[in-house]
Chains A and B, each alone.
Chain A
Amino acid sequence: MHSNRYCNRIIVLPFSVLLEIRVKPDNSGVVTDGVKHSMNPFCEIAVEEAVKLKEKKLIKEVVAVSCGPQQSQETIRTALAMGADRGIHVEVAGKDYETLGPLQVSKIMAALAKKEDAQLIILGKQAIDDDCNQTGQMTAALLDWPQGTFASEVSLDGDKVKVVREIDGGLETIKISTPAVLTADLRLNTPRYATLPNIMKAKKKKIANVKPADLGVDLTSRLEVLKVEEPPQRQAGVKVETVEDLVGKLKETGRI
């Protein structure tokens, strides 16, 4: 039974993103070998929010989950150093990792949420390497849970969650019931540093290893990447001396 005083368990999904990537020579993807993996900045904010809720004694336990190869364990350790209680590493490696997308991750999250009996799932709003902005929404749909996305403020109110969302027109405040999925936007909080003593303590916290097959999730992708290209080289600008020159040039290039 859910106590109406506080939520019991939050799952956060810190993603590691690739930084400083380059496109593979055959344009089939990006080079991942040896590239620096870092926790996605929006996920740092999500982890921070979960830890803050725990510090306010509104929730009991924060579980950090990451899907990916061995390096994902580093991301989970960082989350543990920030204050998560335990971690779950869903092992996805090799070819499966290259095609891992929001749909597969959402299925994994949905399965885990049920298994762990979570009341809240908090994710970053999007990963900065693929900019999909889909995982939170898909997870909520698969679980048939309400969602509070682009959250810039979160407060718990009994068994409801008040979320202030950043939208194009300004801010929208909604109240949703738990269990729910939230995605963190930039202004939600400022993540704390993972200090060295906490990293050392985090080495003693548990990270469980799980395979997607154990959760009954099929990783086959419904998408095929046809081509990945670098953005076109920026052309140098041209300076003109007078307004007449400017008008002339605009006419020349067919702009006016």
Chain B
Amino acid sequence: IGFFFFSLLQPTDNILPLSYKDPRWEGVEMERFADEADVVIVGGGPAGLSAAIRLKQLANEHEKELRVCLVEKASQIGAHTLSGACLEPSAINELFPDWKERGAPLHTPVTEDVFSILTEKHRIPVPMLPGLPMQNHGNYIVRLGNFVRWLGEQAEELGVELYPGYAAAEVLFHEDGSVKGIATNDVGIAKDGSPKDVFERGMELHAKVTMFGEGCHGHLAKQLYKKFNLRENCEPQTYAIGLKEVWMIDEKKWRPGRVEHSVGWPLNRHTYGGSFLYHLNEGEPLVALGFVVGLDYSNPYLSPFREFQRWKHHPFVAPTLEGGNRIAYGARALNEGGIQSLPKLTFPGGLLIGCSPGFMNVPKIKGTHTAMKSGMLAAEAIFPKVTAESLDSETAGLHVPEYAEALKNSWVWKELYAVRNIRPSFHNYFGLYGGMVYTGIFYWILRGKEPWTLKHCGLDANQLKPAKDCTPIDYPKPDGKISFDLLSSVALSGTNHEGDQPAHLTLKDDSVPVARNLAIYDGPEQRFCPAGVYEYVPLETGDGMRLQINAQNCVHCKTCDIKDPSQNINWVVPEGGGGPAYNGM
């Protein structure tokens, strides 16, 4: 009896998704309001918004009625957007040739492009020859959150129904198994899983086609991969985590239009990653800077956040930040798998766009232009089908394989094909240097025409070595001027969630964290989470530790779901409107 009581008192993290079958839910109104649209788009990022805009542009051109609804979990469009970013204007030039007149926030053309290999105290410059993938001539430094917000305004003007603050939590299916639409999440559930007075069921949005643009490692996409076997012929996706800060620097140090990238220190040659530092030109001396670490790293003692903080102290970087003020912080996972990791993109009733399937050009570190183009191609493929007089479909939800065809014939595919071997080329004895030599020969000279395609190493989660085989890393303490501690950084992300709701970081098995993650890998989630969500704390009674999940801190980066060596953490969407409050990130 004592043991039974004790386990009842333990906070159960594993509440979502609820089954609503327990007695507390008797008599609660569970019927959902449903509405019909022609197309429903999940995710208000560059891909989703470009798709919505393209659909409405086509509808207006052909004088057809089209109801397009877009749901986005952030409280306002752009609040969950985070990126470097150097935007290649190829997609926006196609979507809105008159983007300048429309006031798109592309204010900073790149004027200087600097690439370095860092050692602990020095810097080796690498010439940015034209033709190298990282070369940025013709691109713009943007605050992607502001760009996305502008896209949202254009979409609304065109008649797209935007619903920020509402998270798509469930995929709905017709009886024939095709996708029927989505349902937003129920709200007003208490932390212990019981209904509160303000409990409200989510709403169902039905559509002929549902476009899923959830960004890197979307949670609904995970379900779709399983249901429709979309990943049976591709490699697992591989990822990196990107951490970013925005600083207001001393005007004397400000060089608007300057782009700096580096590889090397503080990472060793076998850990993929590097830094960026961009000088914006929007009136104030702002720089956007950040650090990316490939999530296939093997040392469980590695902390991407602390690598980022210590990189800022390098003699080449610190002078820019001295005398400045940090004003923003955030983090997000990004995909690195390229073509090898692209799943099947279409299924009856829906399709995948943007960073969710993953179109990032890794050596260029750019994915916005390809995400936008994928949204636009999807819209163009869908449009004739949803406006056809007679719907000639085998399934209730429309299947649009024409989208995948169009993508294969577009510049997105050409670009991704040419760079497909660069990221995997880092997996060699010489690590970073081997990769750079490969890039120099096969990309710069041969343009990716080599007839082979290198493979990745498998799931990032499987790359961690046991803690006993690795050396702890001695990170320097933050100095409070250039480098900072985790909690004050998280505060700057503006993240917040309604406290009284079930934790959205769910565990498939409550006993695994201590039994496996802590025992074998020394609890790597304490280190790879950029928001301090995971903490191993001593039990209140007796010996031993337990995993404490501070779900309120979560910045929705998805790294835990990706890197957990036991693949036990399942990120689900919290109540809409929660999460970071990024402003022009």
Contacts and interface: CB of A to CB of B under 8 A. Distances in A.
Given A36-B75, A196-B203, A190 B581 contact: no
A4 to B, nearest CB: 32
B494 interface: yes
A34 B284 contact: no
B304 interface: no
A108 B196 CA distance: 37
A190 B76 CA distance: 23
B272 interface: no
Interface in A26-49: 34-38
A20 B583 contact: yes
B35 interface: yes
Contacts of B187: 193, 195
B581 A20 contact: yes
A25 B166 CA distance: 35
Given A20-B581, A34-B583, A36-B76, A192 B200 contact: yes
B173 interface: no
A211 interface: no
Contact of B184 (A19, A36, A196): A196
Interface string A178-191: 00000000000011
Contacts of B33: 195, 197
Given A20-B583, A35-B583, A38-B75, A196 B166 contact: yes
A207 to B, nearest CB: 15
A34 B184 CA distance: 26
B583 A36 contact: yes
Contacts of A193: 187-188, 198, 200
Query: Does more than half of chain B's interface fall in helix, strand or loop, or is it mixed?
Result: mixed
Contact of B198 (A19, A34, A191, A196): A191
Contacts, number: 50
Contact of A34 (B166, B200, B494, B584): B584
A229 B188 CA distance: 38
Interface size classification for chain B: 20 to 34
A247 interface: no
B483 to A, nearest CB: 15
B202 interface: yes
B197 interface: yes
B163 interface: yes
B203 A22 contact: no
Contacts of A200: 35, 161
A205 B436 CA distance: 60
A97 B38 CA distance: 40
Contacts of A19: 494, 581
A100 interface: no
Nearest to A48: B198
A176 interface: no
A241 to B, nearest CB: 22
Nearest to B248: A25
Interface residues of A, number: 18
Contacts of B584: 34
A199 interface: yes
Contacts of A20: 494, 581, 583
Interface string B240-256: 00000000100000000
B149 interface: yes
A152 B584 CA distance: 39
Contacts of B166: 196, 199
Interface string B147-187: 00100000000000101001000000000000000001001
Nearest to A203: B161
Contact of A196 (B75, B163, B196, B581): B163
A195 B200 contact: yes
B281 interface: no
A200 B71 CA distance: 12
Given A25-B248, A36-B76, A197-B33, A192 B198 contact: yes
Interface string B17-53: 0000000000000000101000000000000000000
Nearest to A230: B325
Interface string B73-85: 0011011000000
A37 B188 CA distance: 22
A190 B202 contact: no
B262 interface: no
A46 B584 CA distance: 32
A196 B37 CA distance: 14
A195 B203 contact: yes
Nearest to A37: B76
A190 B75 contact: no
B570 to A, nearest CB: 24
A195 B185 CA distance: 10
A25 B284 contact: yes
A149 B512 CA distance: 52
B94 to A, nearest CB: 26
A196 B33 CA distance: 9
B446 interface: no
B146 interface: yes
Interface string A154-194: 00000000000000000000000000000000000011110
Nearest to B188: A193
B410 to A, nearest CB: 33
A111 B571 CA distance: 51
A239 to B, nearest CB: 16
B159 to A, nearest CB: 12
B515 interface: no
Nearest to B327: A22
B163 A199 contact: yes
Nearest to A192: B198
Nearest to A78: B165
Contacts of B79: 36
A211 B255 CA distance: 43
A197 B198 contact: no
A36 B248 contact: no
Contacts of B76: 36-37
A33 to B, nearest CB: 8
12 contacts: A20-B583, A25-B248, A25-B284, A34-B145, A34-B149, A36-B75, A38-B75, A190-B196, A193-B187, A193-B188, A196-B184, A197-B203
10 closest residue pairs by CB, A with B: A20-B494, A196-B203, A197-B33, A193-B187, A20-B581, A34-B583, A36-B581, A195-B200, A196-B166, A193-B200
Given A193-B188, A196-B71, A197-B35, 15 more contacts: A19-B581, A20-B581, A34-B145, A34-B146, A35-B583, A36-B75, A36-B494, A37-B76, A192-B200, A193-B198, A193-B200, A196-B163, A196-B166, A196-B203, A197-B33
